[in-house]
Chains A and B, each alone.
Chain A
Amino acid sequence: MLEEILVTARSNPHVDPVMDVWGWEISVYLFMGGLSAGIMFFSALMLLMKKDRETPFAVNGLALLGLVVLSLGMTTLFLDLSHKLFVWRFYTTFEPTSPMSWGAWILILFYPVAVLQVLSTFRTGYPFFAGLVDSLPLVTKIFDLAERYRRLIAWLAIPIAVGLGIYTGILLSAFSARPFWNTGLLGPLFLVSGLSTGAALTALIARQHAEKRLFTLIDAGLIVAELLIVALLLINLATGSRPQLEAASMLLGGSYAGWFWGVFITLGLLIPLLLEYFETRGALRNLAMLAPVLVLIGGYVLRVIAVDLGQETTWIDYPSEFNTQLLERLH
């Protein structure tokens, strides 16, 4: 049976012939959202575990990056909106059935907590910049106050980080119309990937060898967890209904196979896992930059695959033979 939109045209931009309403802006945003969740999570966790001496960068310097990364992500998210002047409409309502509405409010919660995290560790983390403003009485008071409550702030940060990380996956999984997305495993997958990229970034930037080693170890554990969730996701897809099977074949053997097996699984998970294994045993020190960079690339490629492939998978699929150039010839 062949079903075609033949009689009349349907060439709605970004919907026909294949849906691509969301592009790199959304992939970058989902990646940055996960990364900033990982950053907030580990900066708070290390502070709560009193690892000030073992992991000085994670406790004192990392949180500032979370603000920067999420702000970049929210910028691309804003770029994606096609009716930009009405962006404030996200904040005149709360729609409990819409994960995007939950996300909009989680993003708003992230900022004050991240700012408090930075304030509570700024003197130790960025002594030069803190010294510039610390002589102002109000600033001194703010720093003092934030430092006194730094554990409470870290406790607030943990659930917000987990919420942000998991929401970036739920955002996609709630779309029953897109069979590839429609699995609850995307939530934990994006959370673990976000934590992994956060740990990788910390290992990349931290100066102390012990701190680098700890975060390399954490990242290796998270990569193993991520591989397990990916395996569950594939089992779920490959044993699903017709639209899910179509998504599985595109991912495993179709147009996305190279990106999935070659870049995400091999370059983004397996090779860094091997490198990290050797690094924690003291070998391959001069390659220490490589594993975290690959993890970050893998994390981004996962978001690209998810966003692009998910939109292509559908319940209804017509070949549309309509050619817009024919219309232009009529003029």
Chain B
Amino acid sequence: MARYAMVIDTLLCIGCGDCVVACKTENKVPEGLNRDWVVEATRGTYPNLTTEFRSERCNHCSHATCVYMCPTGASHHWKDTNIVLVDPNKCTGCKACIAACPYDARLIMHPGGYIDKCTFCHHRVEKGLDPACVSTCPTHCMYFGLLDDPSSEVSELLRTRNYKVLAPETGNQPNVYYLT
């Protein structure tokens, strides 16, 4: 399995929300629905506070429980990569994948009724472009690339910087990394 990763530098992120707007524009996400979002995590006691901004989305897990739970094969790994997609023509809207996602990253596509989610902009990745959120980021704090290629920017960053992933204890092997 070729592993695509998104690496987000939380030290550079200012929480502007452009990644969310870029996603909505690029993917024509209907009003009221979100494929990505920005979390503000504040730690400490006043006046000694630190704030971390995290742009979050589907983690495109290598061990994707949503894919395992899907009864029709609609949730699948795209072209033997870790990119998780939903085929609307196979989706019954049973919502098993929504319940199966420990990150609550999936949504019901209204009014279509099928399940929708972040695609890592695979239609752009196919052309060698970065996902819309990554290419829009004004602070250049987001990176996208192949983890299997040791010379890629994402591999280099994960070799040299401290990082974390969200809830690794779920065993889902998420592929969105946060530099800390």
Contact = CB atoms under 8 A, between A and B. Distances in A.
Chain B's interface: helix, strand, loop or mixed, by majority?
loop
Contact of B68 (A11, A80, A97): A97
Contacts of A92: 72
A314 to B, nearest CB: 7
Interface string A35-70: 000000000000000000000000000000000000
Contacts of A4: 39-42
Interface in A68-98: 80-84, 86-87, 89-90, 92-93, 95, 97-98
Interface residues of A, number: 52
Given A95-B70, A101-B71, A5 B94 contact: no
A19 B99 contact: yes
B15 to A, nearest CB: 4
Chain A's interface: helix, strand, loop or mixed, by majority?
loop
A89 B65 contact: no
Interface stretch (B4-12, B29-37, B119-127, B140-148): B29-37
Nearest to B20: A8
A306 interface: no
Contacts of B93: 81-84, 86
A13 B167 contact: no
Contact of B69 (A15, A175, A327): A175
Contact of A5 (B38, B89, B102): B38
A176 B170 contact: yes
Given A5-B38, A175-B100, A176-B102, A104 B71 contact: yes
B167 A100 contact: no
Nearest to A179: B102
B156 interface: no
B138 interface: no
A86 B92 contact: yes
Contacts of A84: 92-93, 113
Given A5-B37, A82-B93, A95-B70, 9 more contacts: A3-B42, A12-B107, A19-B98, A83-B114, A84-B92, A86-B92, A99-B69, A175-B100, A318-B39
